[in-house]
Structure 1
Amino acid sequence: MDVERKIKKIESETIINGNFDDSDFSVDIFDSIPEKINCLDVKHIDYRIHEMLSYHSYGRTNEYTDITNPLQSKYCRQVLDAIDDYGYKISGLIVDEKIEEMITEKGIETLKHVKEEEGEFIPSKHGCIHEEEIGYIRDNQIGFLEVSRYSDGWYSCLPFGYLFSF
Structure 2
Amino acid sequence: MRDAMLKCLLLLSAALLLCAQAGVSLADNGPPEFHDSALAQRYSALTEELRCPKCENETLASSGAPIAADIRQRIAEWLKAGQSDDDIRHHLVQRFGEYVLYKPRVERRTWLLWGLPAAAVVVGGVVLTLLIRRRRRLQVSDLDDAERARLVALLSRHGDQQPSRDREAR
TM over 0.5: no
User: What is the TM-score normalised by the length of structure 1?
Assistant: 0.22
Larger radius of gyration: 2
**TM-score (structure 2 length as normaliser):** 0.22
More strand by share: 1
